Amino acid sequence: TSSTLLSGKKVLITAGGTQEPLDPVRYLGNRSSGRMGYAIAQACQEAGAETILVSAPTDLPIPKGVKRISVMTAQEMHDVVLEEFPKMDVIVKAAAVADYRPKENASQKIKKQGTSLWVELVPNPDILAELGKIKSKQILVGFAAETENLIDYAQEKMRRKNVDMLVANDVTRQGSGFGSLTNIVSFLFPDGRRIDLPQMNKLEVARHLRDKIAELLGVTKED
Ligand code: PMT
């Protein structure tokens, strides 16, 4: 049954939007609420998986039975995920990770000055791409949040980041993407298969995703 579908499996999910500090009171962030990732953690825990949630700051409660490790920046998320990775069977990267961070994190609040303020940004590590390079037995699931050419860009990410499954998320549609209670996604697989899900709440999306992960692990639902 689905309550034992993933028993004995270790699953790590990243969630939320990283925050990249500019000074003691400001950061660069994004609109991720963490809901999608938290729902995936709940769905995997319900199926008996040992579930770790590596979470950027959110207001969401920790799903029952899930271990949460809180992080703030992309670099912190990177360090935790890389440390846990060898022990895991499945990694799902639902977090919205900042591709760039301010080069300097000022030790004092930046004062208002002149007519413009220049902030230099430097690249963050691409956690998913790194995992794609070092993975052995693990099932690696990535997301792609896109505002145009959804399927083309998502397919390109799937290949470049060497993932086993990619969740393509059109974040411009109503009821989809950042912050909403529902989502509209497609699942893409390296063999060319594609599944388009209709709009549904994020927990339902998460349960579909979990069942696909179980299939990739070679376990199937009996009920
Ligand atoms: O949190 P919610 O409000 O519920 O919203 C859900 C969501 C829209 C955040 C989620 O469904 C989603 O699409 N997450 C991925 C967002 C994203 O950053 O996508 P991306 O296309 O920029 O990144 C592609 C993949 O690489 C993602 O799996 C991302 O976690 C990963 N990545 C990106 C950059 C980076 N430096 N390291 C990464 O690991």
Lining residues, ligand 1, CB within 6 Å: 32-36, 74, 93-97, 99, 124, 126-128, 142-145, 157, 169, 171, 177-179, 202
183, 202 contact by CB (below 8 A): yes
Q: What is the pLDDT of residue 223?
A: 54
Cα–Cα distance measured from residue 104 to residue 8, given in angstroms and rounded to the nearest whole number = 43
Q: What is each CA distance from 68 to 17, 62, 77, 150, in whole angstroms?
A: 15, 7, 12, 31
From the CA of 222, how far away is ligand 1's center (Å)?
32
Q: What is the pLDDT of residue 113?
A: 87
Cα–Cα distance measured from residue 56 to residue 34, given in angstroms and rounded to the nearest whole number = 8
161 appears as a binding residue in the annotation: yes
> Architecture of domain 10-98+120-217 in CATH?
3-Layer(aba) Sandwich (3.40)
110 appears as a binding residue in the annotation: no
16, 98 contact by CB (below 8 A): no
Catalytic residues: 30
Position in ligand 1 atom list of the atom nearest CA 14? 30
Q: What is the pLDDT of residue 222?
A: 65
Strands (E), the chain: 10-15, 20-23, 26-28, 50-55, 67-70, 90-93, 100-102, 121-123, 139-146, 165-170, 182-183, 185-188, 194-196, 200-201
Q: pLDDT class for 220, splitting at 50, 70, 90?
A: confident
From the CA of 6, how far away is ligand 1's center (Å)?
24
Percent residues over pLDDT 90 in the chain: 96
From the CA of 148, how far away is ligand 1's center (Å)?
15
Q: What is the pLDDT of residue 104?
A: 97
Q: Does residue 174 sit in helix, strand or coil?
A: coil
Half-sphere exposure of 175 (CA within 13 A, CB side): 7
Largest Cα separation within the chain, whole Å, is 67
Per residue in 63-89, pLDDT (tens digit) is 999 999 999 999 999 999 999 999 999
Cα–Cα distance measured from residue 178 to residue 175, given in angstroms and rounded to the nearest whole number = 9
Position in ligand 1 atom list of the atom nearest CA 127? 39
133 appears as a binding residue in the annotation: no
| Global ipTM | 0.98
Q: pLDDT class for 208, splitting at 50, 70, 90?
A: very high
Closest C-alpha residue for ligand 1 atom 14: 94
Q: Kindly tell me the burial class for residue 139, based on how many C-beta atoms sit within 10 Å of its own C-beta (0-12, 13-18, 19 or more).
A: buried
Both tokens of residue 219? 């376990």
Q: Is the pLDDT of residue 1 over 70?
A: no
Closest C-alpha residue for ligand 1 atom 33: 97
